[in-house]
Amino acid sequence: MPSGILPSVGLAAIQDAATDIQRQKLQSEIEVAKIDKNQTERAAKLQSACEGFEAIFINTLLQEMRKTVPDDGLLPTSSATRTWQQLFDNQLAETLASRQEMGVAKMLYQQLQGGLSEKK
C-alpha cells in the first residue's frame, strides 16, 4: 500500500470521528449558551428587583419628607390632592431608581450578585 493513501474503511472511520467531534463541540456550545442565557436572565431579574427596592426606598423617603411640611392652609388639601401627590411620588421614585442616581440599587445588586456567584 503506497504511503499517503488511506483505505476506504479508515477514511470512513476518520469522517465519523470528525463528525462526532463536531457534534460534541456543538453540544458544548449549546450548553454554554444555555448557561449564559440563564445567567443573563438571572442578572436582569436581579437588576429589576434591586431597582424596585430602591424605588420603594425613595418613595418611603418622599412620604416621610412630605409629613414634615406643615399644612399652612394656603392650598387646600383634599383626598384628590393627596392621591395625586402619592401617584407623583411613586412615579418620581421609579424614575429616580431606574436612573440609579442614588446608588442603592447598584450597591444592592453588587452585593447580591457576589452572593449568587459564591453559591456556584
Cβ 54 vs Cβ 97: under 8 Å: yes
Per-residue confidence (pLDDT) for residue 10, from 0 to 100: 66
**Alpha-carbon dihedral angle through residues 61, 65, 67, 71, given to the nearest 10 degrees:** -150
Distance, in Å, from the CA atom of 78 to the CA atom of 67, rounded to the nearest integer, reads 15
pLDDT at 91: 92
pLDDT in tens, the chain (120 residues): 455 554 555 666 777 777 788 778 777 777 777 777 788 888 888 888 999 999 999 999 999 998 888 877 777 778 888 889 899 999 999 898 888 778 888 898 989 888 665 555
Pick the closest to residue 100 from 65, 61, 38, 57 (CA basis).
57
